[in-house]
Structure 1
């Protein structure tokens, strides 16, 4: 059964601060890298801590793969892979993560979470699509949200970040949250439909991913912060939509 944070509690937390009783709900933010390491990782962790405070979620940060043991993961509602890269878990730790999701745990992947664990097919299904390439440097493009809640209907958000192409278009296997406007992003390689964020039910739990989050500056953007907050709420079981 999917574990839930009471929706009323989260709504109150968003509007009026966090009750002390909400601190029992926990998030593990994992940032181990075995490849490229993003300078924005501290900003990602700090932003997730602040969002956790707003949502009544206690956020723990670790780069220790030993945290992926069944007894330890049982303490958490959500695991976030924030700009991880490469092979970050061994076989036993991978099995523990699979068991966590199978038991209803939530997953959030940020940016190079899609550049992680290429040899673990279950994880590839969880994150939704693997990274393929990106144009050199930062790109500026409009992001159009396909689900309500971050912007008003029809509104677009202009963002400057490292914009990923993926090995496949995940549409059809996931619910796409946001796409890049390819009239702006002419150096992308995914054709006219370029998903950049999505969510889905997976393996007993729920997973949410955004390809944004490379550049430190984006974490100060209120639109991106609302985007991340919706991801945490969805993965934590507080919202059906993402």
Structure 2
């Protein structure tokens, strides 16, 4: 066999292997399919790659399929029909056009789920439907600090495992245009850090609700790379993803 024929044979074999890997990427009997979307049009968190990789690891360990993209052109009815939940990984700014907004609305109205992580509330300020969906809009934050979080609702899969008082370090968001219809899961104790223009005695940090036919979970935590190495935080977002995708009763 001459060198040209050998090289051709090796390349053909390589392409066959790659094709097999791509076809077998989905897990057999996966519980659900999640789309991680991390496009930004404002501040970009350096923790985004860590967050995407953490969810990929969670998907392998907990038998669900995960696909990630930052391409807003991927947001079509045809593509989203393959997913049960969209995870907005620290998105910022205006990231969807009008057609894509309509696709997202139809996705939610069909009974599917949305998970927002950290700056998902710093997204789409001029889209009222989205503000109600995600639950609030980012207002401000002080420098990163350690504080006491109060887990006020431990009857949700995202909080089953958490202590009632949780010491945590993060970039601590305060919010405006808060949706009073959400169920708050975790609050920040402003007495335990310097909020510099916070929200006062009642400062929500994570919540969930059902909205326009779908299920929504949001956590303001997750600014730092280290967040996505913490078991409690990973179980927190896993519970939110699982509930938003599956919709099992919580009691």
CA shift in 2, pair 1:91/1:168, >3 Å? closer
CA radius of gyration, larger in? 2
Q: How does 1:115-194 map to 2 (within 5 A)?
A: 115-135=122-142, 137-148=143-154, 149-152=160-163, 155-170=164-179, 172-187=180-195, 188-194=197-203
d(CA) in 2 for partners of 1:183, 1:72: 46
Segments of 5+ residues of structure 1 without an aligned counterpart are 1-18
User: Is the Cα contact below 8 Å between 2:109 and 2:213 reproduced in 1?
Assistant: yes
Give the match for residue 222 of structure 2: 213
TM-score (norm 2): 0.83
User: Is the Cα contact below 8 Å between 1:169 and 1:190 reproduced in 2?
Assistant: no
CA shift in 2, pair 1:239/1:144, >3 Å? farther
d(CA) in 1 for partners of 2:247, 2:29: 13
Select which of 47, 50, 54 maps to 1:43. 50
Runs of 4+ in 1 over 6 A off after TM superposition: none
d(CA) in 1 for partners of 2:178, 2:148: 19
d(CA) in 1 for partners of 2:153, 2:57: 24
User: Is the Cα contact below 8 Å between 2:137 and 2:178 reproduced in 1?
Assistant: no
1:63 CA displacement: 0.2
d(CA) in 1 for partners of 2:249, 2:242: 9
User: Is the Cα contact below 8 Å between 1:206 and 1:235 reproduced in 2?
Assistant: yes
Partner secondary structure for residue 28 of structure 2? helix
Select which of 225, 236, 241 maps to 1:227. 236
d(CA) in 2 for partners of 1:235, 1:22: 19
Q: RMSD over aligned Cα, in angstroms? A: 1.7
Partner secondary structure for residue 61 of structure 2? helix
**Number of residue pairs matched by the alignment:** 220
1:38 CA displacement: 0.3
1:141 CA displacement: 0.7
